[in-house]
Structures are given as structure tokens and as C-alpha cells.
Amino acid sequence: MKLHLNTVESTSGLIFKTKIWLMDARLELTNAEATIVKAHRDIGKMVVGEADLTANPNLPGEPEKITVNKLVTGITSYRFWSIQNQTNSEVSIREGCKALKGHLGRLVEVGTSGPTVEEI
């Protein structure tokens, strides 16, 4: 599994130049991981991150949910009006992908091994 993230600083507006940050993200799965995602369709709908794309911090909107399917397809030019929102989004995507890797590993483990016994 490889996560490709790219953020670029840009400006918006003709008269009042406002700084914005554009982010592209794509998740590249191995053949084995892609097979698991296709076999378990609910994994594709799993939310692995959020993006707050609101322009006005005083009027917060509902954050954009970033799913596994969205990341595999690739998201382009998500427009952030603050570097804090962009950074928070990037962190949530990274953490979500780490959790996804754990879920995929657990599915492989459950599918190929017998019962697990743990001493508690």
C-alpha cells in the first residue's frame, strides 16, 4: 500500500488575492490488497479521512468524508482555505490508511488461520 499526497500553495481571486492550498491524494493498493477490497465491498466505503473545505471558519460546514474508494480513484485539487485544515486532513488520511492496513491484515489472518487463543 502506498499513499501519494501532494500539496501546493496557490492564490485565488482576481482583486483580493487569497492564499489557498490544493491537495491531491491517491492510494495505491497491492494486488492482494485490491483483491480483498473487491471481495469485501464495505471496506471501499470505509472512511479513512476528513477534509474541512469551508472558506469561512465562522460558518463551519460538514467535513468531506474521504473513503477508500475515493482515495483509490484519486482526489484532485481539494481546495483548503487554511493550512491548518489541510494539515489536519492530511494527518487524518495518514492515520486512516494505517488503520486500513491493519484491517486488511486482520482479514488475511482470519481467512487463513484457525482460532486465536490469547492469555489475558
pLDDT tens digits, one per residue of 35-67: 999 999 999 999 999 998 887 666 667 888 999
Q: Which residue has better confidence, 109 or 10?
A: 10
**Quick check: is 99 in a domain?**
yes
pLDDT in tens, 83-108: 999 999 999 999 999 999 999 988 88
Q: In 3-state terms, what secondary structure has residue 118?
A: coil
**Quick check: is 106 in a domain?**
yes
d(CA 76, CA 79): 9
pLDDT for position 74: 94
Show the domain range for 93. 2-110
**Quick check: is 116 in a domain?**
no
pLDDT for position 61: 74
Q: Which of 101, 51, 40, 57 is nearest to 75 (CA)?
A: 51
**Quick check: is 21 in a domain?**
yes
pLDDT for position 30: 92
H-state helical runs in the chain:
31-39, 41-44, 68-73, 83-112
Structure letter (DSSP) for residue 63: P
